[in-house]
Amino acid sequence: MTRTSSNRRDVRTSGPGRGRLQGVPVLLVPAADGGTVQHLAGNGTPTGDRTPLDTALTAARPETRWVWADTAQCYPQLLAAGGRVGRCHDLALTEALLLGYDGRWGRPRSVAAAWSRLHDLPVPDDVDPGEATAEPTLFEPVRSALPAGVDPVSAVAAVYADQLRRIAATEDPGRFSLLVAAESAGALAAFEMTATGLPWSAEVHAAKLTELLGARTSAGVRPARLVELSALIDAAFEGRRTNPDSPADVLAAFTAAGRRIESTRSWVLRKVDHPAVEPLLAYKKLARIHAANGWAWQERWVREGRFRPEYVPGGVVSGRWATRGGGGLQIPKVLRGAVRATLGHILVVADAGQLEPRLLAALSEDPGMATAAQAEDMYAAIAARSFGGDRARAKVGLLGAMYGQVGGQAAAPLAVLRQEYPAALRLLEEAARTGEDGGLVRSHLGRTCPPVGDDWVRTGPAARARGRFTRNFVVQATAAEWALTWLAVVRSQLTTLDAAELVFFAHDELVVHAPAEASEQVVRILYDGALEAGRLLFGSTPVRFPLDVSTVGCYADAG
DNA sequence: ACAGACCGCGCC
DNA sequence: AAAGGGCGCGGTCTGT
C-alpha cells in the first residue's frame, strides 16, 4: 500500500473529530414497548442508563450522538414521526470506510456482518433495503441477520467499540474520525433532504416543456416539436427515414450521404457540413429533456410542490453521493427556473469554486500553487504566474493534470506546470503510478480507493486507465470530504434559525430555503462553514475556499 | 419478453 | 476544442 499524501501535517492540534461534529454517544435500544435508548460510555460500553425513545428525541442535547446500525434504515422512520437527530455514528457507512481502508472493498457492512467477522462466524450478506421486511422496526435490520439469541443492543455496542479501536489504529485517527463524523452527518442530511424536498413549481416546469416541445402528449407519443424536427432530418437526408434516437441509424444516414463520421456525439456532428446536422442537434437536445425530465418525470418525482431525489450517501467510490431515480444530481440548467422559493422565502445558493485544484494545492503543499490558491480565481493566478496571463491554457493544463490527460492541448501546459509546481504534479503522478502498479491510494482523511480485481493485469490500457482513476481519486475524494464537512457544519448551524432548511446538495453546491428575513444569516453560515471545513481538514493552510453565493427567488437566477 | 451491453448526454 | 476523472438515465441493439 502506498500513501499519496507526503509532507503530513499534524491536524490533531486543530481538533478534527473533537470539534463541533463530535458529542456524547447515546445508543438506541430496541424494545417491544415502542423503544428506549441505552446510553454508552465514550469507549462504547453500555452504562446501563436507559431513556424512552421519544424522551431521548425531544430532550437530546445538540452534542448527543446517536449510534445506530444504518441511517438508511433508522432515520426515515424517525423523520416521518417528526423526530430529528443532531449527530450520529453510522455503523454501516463506517464499516465500509474501515473495510476499504484495509483494502477489503465491497464486503458486507451491516452490523450483523461486522459482528460475525468479529466473532469469526459466517458473514451474512447485506440485506437490500428494498427487500427488507414490510414493516421494519428501528432495529429489524440488526436483529434479523444476527444469529438467534444474540442481543442486538450488545451487538451494536460491540461493533461500535470495535470500530473505535480500528479508527484509533489508522495512520491518522484524528483525520479518520472526522471522516466518519462527516460521512455520518452527511447521511442524516441526505435523508432529511429527501423528506424535505426541493421546492419545484410544476406549473413553471410544464410551461417550459410546452414552450420547448409543444403541447403535452400521452406517454410514448412524440411531442409536436420532435415530430417536426424528425421530418426536417428526413428531408435533409433526401427522404431517407432516419431514427434520430438510433446512433447506428444516424451513422448510416451520414454514410449514405457521403459523410464519414466516427460517432454521432454532438461535438462530432457540429463539425460536419450537412443540412441534417442542425435539426439533428436540436432534436437530440429536446429529446433528452423530454425523456429525462419531461411530463412523465414530473408525474413520478414531483409531489406537493417538491422534487424529492433519493440521495445515496457514500454511493460513489470517491465519497460523492449518488441518487436513485429521478436524476437528482443532474437537474438541467434549462429547467432550473422551476426551482422556486415559496412565498416569503428565498433560496440561498452557494457553490465552492475551483474546489479540486484548491484541494490539490492544500494536499501537496506546493508553495506556488498554494499561493495561487489564495486568489479568488485560481486559474487566473496560475496563468498570471506561469502562462503569461493565458487563463484558458492554465485551466486546460490543471484539469488535464488532475484527470490524467497526456496529449492534445494539455501537453504543453502540463510541461510548464511540472516545472513550476513540482510538488503538486509529483503528488498526482505518484498517485497515478501507484494505481498503474495495482496499489491503493487514499484521500486526505483516509478514504481509500477500491483494490484491483483478481483478473486485473498490469498491462497497457487497463493499467493506464487505473492510473487515471487513482490520480483523480485523491483529488475528487478529498474534495468530496471537504464538501461533506462543509455540509455537516452548515447543517448543524442552520438549526439556530427558524424554518431554514437544506434542500439540495450536489458535490460542491448547497441550496438553503429560508424565510426572506433570515437570508443574511444563512449567507453568513455558509461562508463560516466553508472556512470551518478548510480548518477542520487542513488546520492552518494558506489555501482559500471561496464561495459563489446568490440569494434568489429562483434557482435559474443563481450564479 | 426480458436482460444486459452500448451509446450519448445531462450534471459535477 | 473535444483528450483525460466521477456519476444516472433512457434510448437502441443484441443475445437468450
Tens of pLDDT, residues A378-422: 999 999 999 999 999 999 999 999 999 988 889 999 999 999 999
Same domain, residue pair A210 and A334: no
Strand partners, A551: A348
The reply to whether A322 falls in a domain is yes
| pLDDT recorded at residue A63 | 77
Same domain, residue pair A486 and A339: yes
Check if the beta carbon of residue A51 is closer than 8 Å to that of residue A37. yes
The reply to whether A224 has its C-beta less than 7 Å from any atom of strand C is no
Indicate the range of A57-71, A93-107, A320-334, A458-472 predicted with least confidence.
Answer: A57-71
Comparing C-alpha atoms, which of A428, A431, A433 is closest to residue A360?
A428
| pLDDT recorded at residue A140 | 64
Q: Are strands A25-29 and A65-68 parallel, antiparallel or unpaired?
A: parallel
Q: Which nucleotides of B are covered by protein (CB under 7 A)?
A: 7-12
The reply to whether A437 has its C-beta less than 7 Å from any atom of strand C is no
The reply to whether A58 has its C-beta less than 7 Å from any atom of strand C is no
**A130 CA → B4 C1’, Å:** 21
The nucleotide closest to A265 (CA, C1' atoms): B8
Same domain, residue pair A191 and A56: yes
Question: Which residue has the closest alpha carbon to B6 C1'?
Answer: A247
Same domain, residue pair A370 and A350: no
List, as one string, the DSSP characters of A275-334: TTHHHHHHHHHHHHHHHHHSHHHHHHHEETTEE--EEETT-STTS--EEESTTTT---GG
Taking every pair of Cα atoms in chain A, the longest distance, rounded to a whole number of angstroms, is 82
Indicate the range of A153-157, A194-198, A247-251, A347-351 predicted with least confidence.
Answer: A153-157
The reply to whether A443 has its C-beta less than 7 Å from any atom of strand C is no
Q: In which band, very low, low, confident or very high, does the pLDDT at A128 lie, cut at 50, 70 and 90?
A: low
* Residue pLDDT, tens place only, A460-494: 888 999 999 999 999 999 999 999 999 999 999 99
Question: Which residue has the closest alpha carbon to C2 C1'?
Answer: A267
Comparing C-alpha atoms, which of A321, A310, A324 is closest to residue A480?
A321
**A291 CA → B3 C1’, Å:** 21
The reply to whether A314 has its C-beta less than 7 Å from any atom of strand C is no
Cα distances (angstroms) measured from residue A328 to each of A183, A293, A302, A349, A506: 19, 10, 11, 16, 9
When the pLDDT of each residue in chain A is averaged and rounded to a whole number, the result is 90
Domain count, chain A: 4
**A247 CA → B5 C1’, Å:** 15
Same domain, residue pair A521 and A505: yes
Q: Are strands A46-52 and A36-40 parallel, antiparallel or unpaired?
A: antiparallel
**Residue range of the domain that includes A172:** 12-196
Same domain, residue pair A50 and A183: yes
The reply to whether A319 has its C-beta less than 7 Å from any atom of strand C is no
More confident residue, A278 or A3: A278
Q: Which nucleotides of C are covered by protein (CB under 7 A)?
A: 1-14
**A283 CA → B3 C1’, Å:** 29
Q: Tell whether the model's pLDDT for residue A438 goes beyond 80.
A: yes
The nucleotide closest to A267 (CA, C1' atoms): C2
* A402 phi and psi angles, rounded to 5 deg: -80, -25
Sign of CA dihedral A242, A244, A248, A251: positive
The nucleotide closest to A270 (CA, C1' atoms): C2
The reply to whether A292 falls in a domain is yes
Same domain, residue pair A239 and A192: no
And the C-alpha cell for A105? Answer: 472493498
Residue identified by cell 439469541 is A149
Q: In which band, very low, low, confident or very high, does the pLDDT at A55 lie, cut at 50, 70 and 90?
A: confident
Same domain, residue pair A359 and A349: no
A282-304 per-residue burial string, b: 16 or more CB within 10 A, e: under 16: bbbebbebbeebbbebbeebbee
**A300 CA → C7 C1’, Å:** 21
The nucleotide closest to A506 (CA, C1' atoms): B12
Q: What percent of chain A has pLDDT over 70?
A: 92
Amino acid at A110: S
Same domain, residue pair A67 and A117: yes
The reply to whether A278 falls in a domain is yes
**A550 CA → C4 C1’, Å:** 32
Burial of A18 (C-beta count, 10 Å sphere; 0-12/13-18/19+): middle
Same domain, residue pair A412 and A519: no
Domain boundary pick from A142, A171, A196 = A196
The reply to whether A470 falls in a domain is no
Burial of A184 (C-beta count, 10 Å sphere; 0-12/13-18/19+): buried
Same domain, residue pair A485 and A377: no
Footprint of strand B on the protein (CB under 7 A): A 247, 251, 263-267, 269, 284-285, 288, 292, 327, 329-334, 351, 506-509
Amino acid at A532: E
The nucleotide closest to A483 (CA, C1' atoms): B12
| pLDDT recorded at residue A137 | 62
How far is Cα A396 from Cα A385, in angstroms, rounded to an integer?
Answer: 15
Indicate the range of A25-39, A45-59, A119-133, A530-544 predicted with least confidence.
Answer: A25-39
- Residue A546's domain is classified under what CATH number? 3.30.70.370
